[in-house]
Amino acid sequence: MTVAVEPFRVVFVCTGNICRSPMADIVFRSFTRRAGLDHRVASWSAATGDWHVGERADARTLGALARHGYDGERHRARQFTQEDFRVADLVVALDRSHERILLEWARAPGDADKVALLRTFDDIAGDQLDVPDPYYAGPEMFDEVLGMIESACRALFRQLEPAVRQPR
């Protein structure tokens, strides 16, 4: 008899869900897929604000992703909801402003315990825990931000991988 195992669920959160959090989701999914664990881990992304709901990722985000071998074409922005808290096992904020907002939105017991900053998983981040917002910068900043996100997502995945390989 095969027992269905619920996947570990991760949601990445930034301001508008068109730059940083879609990058993190797409990069993180690539790690789970390459490890053959995409059936054991589910991820998505969301925004703290509603300005871009339904929109594609920023063209500079898509460009940076494409230059590094990722495909972000299917992404559509959405806003974080209480349902995300309910279903997610881990809520990953891209900077401290998102972390503050998410902690304010935490309502149910345990919601606040699910919130973590992405770069806290990455030893090389040091005390630079915010992933900077590249929105008002040029394409080179999007590449730099993607590098930070790749490093932090790799570290996050390495931490989660042993647990998700085992039945929950």
Per the structure block, which two tokens stand in for 7? 């996947």
Q: Among 19, 20, 58, 153, which one carries the catalytic annotation?
A: 20
Q: Establish whether 67 is a catalytic residue.
A: no
> Rounded CA gap, 46 and 11, in Å?
7
Q: Establish whether 133 is a catalytic residue.
A: yes
> Rounded CA gap, 140 and 64, in Å?
8
Spatial contact of 40 and 31, defined as CB atoms under 8 Å apart: no
For the chain, how many residues are written?
Answer: 168
Spatial contact of 147 and 70, defined as CB atoms under 8 Å apart: no
The H or E element spanning position 10 is strand 8-14
> Rounded CA gap, 127 and 42, in Å?
29
Spatial contact of 91 and 83, defined as CB atoms under 8 Å apart: no
Q: Among 89, 133, 143, 154, which one carries the catalytic annotation?
A: 133
Active site residues: 14, 20, 133
